[in-house]
Every structure is written in structure tokens, then in C-alpha cells.
Amino acid sequence: MGMMNNKYFDERQILARGKGFQIGFLVSLGMIIADFLAEDVLWNYGCISINVYSRAMMCIWIPILVVSVYFILNDACEKINETGGKALMGMFVFVGLFEIIVTVVRVASGSILFVENGVVGDALGQIFTGAAMLGISVVYFVKLALNKKTFGDEE
């Protein structure tokens, strides 16, 4: 106990992370089922369809978003004595914004089509990825600010 230089998760964080991964696993299963249902049920009725890349990005990023937000809200995302969280989240903001802006500009300029022959293309997946990264980093920085406010007056 009291290992100042080692980086590790404490017991409460380990429990929270276990619950977070459990939730993420169930969300992943749900996304796979939703993907099959959407493809087989909805699109057979002539609704607009989404291409494989965009569907894959949604199936990947929604569970990551849910798990990351759970970790952040339960203060279980950073190990004790770890300090690299801000840098990583800053990178997420940059990459997320870059992804969204570049995709929007390309769609607006006509170099790529958002919908082609009734199928939503890669643009949706790219925007979704950027939005997920932005969402995670926003939650992180808001929680950081709230923690500072809550724990700022040391007692």
C-alpha cells in the first residue's frame, strides 16, 4: 500500500472497470444484433441502407463510447499516479475535429457523396468516429472540471 511511483488501479476502480467492460460487452452484442436486424428487416422494405464500413464504425465506436464514458464518470479511466490523460484526450479532440471537418468539406465540395445509389457511404462512418472521439474527450474534460470544483476545497 502507498506505492507512490507505481501506476495502478485501486480496488474501487477495478470494480468500476469490471462493470464498465461488462456493460460494453452487452452493448457490443446489442450493436451486432441491431446491425443484423437493420439490414434484414428495415432495408428489405426499401429503406435507405448504410454501407459496411459505416456500420462497422458504429458497431465499434458505440461500445467504446459507452465504456469510456462509464470509466470517466466513475473516475476509473486513469491509474493512480498516471498523468497522461489530458494529452490523450487532447489528441482525441484534434483527431475527432479533423475527421469531422475533412469529411464535411469533402461532402460539401462534392468529392465524395454522402448517399450513392441509395446507400449511405463512408462519410457517415468517418463523421461518427470523429463525433465519438469528441464526445469522449468532452465528457473527460467536463468531469475534470467538476472534480476540480468538488475536490478543490480540500478538507
Partner 1 sequence: MARNIAIKVARAEKDMTQTALAKAVGVSRQTMNAIEQGDYNPTIKLCRAICRVLGKTLDELFWIDEEPGSSDGQ
Segment contacting partner 1 (CB under 8 A): 11-19, 107-115, 123-131, 132-140?
Answer: 11-19
Number of residues that bind partner 1 (CB under 8 A): 14
Q: How far apart are CA 144 and CA 29, in angstroms?
A: 31
What part of residues 60-79 is at the interface with partner 1 (CB under 8 A)?
A: 75
Strand ranges inside 77-155, DSSP E: 115-116, 119-120
Set of cell numbers at residue 48: 435507405
Q: Does 80 bind partner 1 (CB under 8 A)?
A: yes
CB distance 11 to 83 below 8 Å: no
* Angle made by CA atoms 56, 136, 18, in degrees to the nearest 5: 80
The amino acid at residue 61 is W
Judged by beta carbon, residue 12 or residue 98, the one nearer partner 1 is 12
Segment contacting partner 1 (CB under 8 A): 6-14, 57-65, 92-100, 125-133?
Answer: 6-14
Q: Which residues bind partner 1 (CB under 8 A)?
A: 1-4, 10-13, 75, 80, 147, 151, 154-155
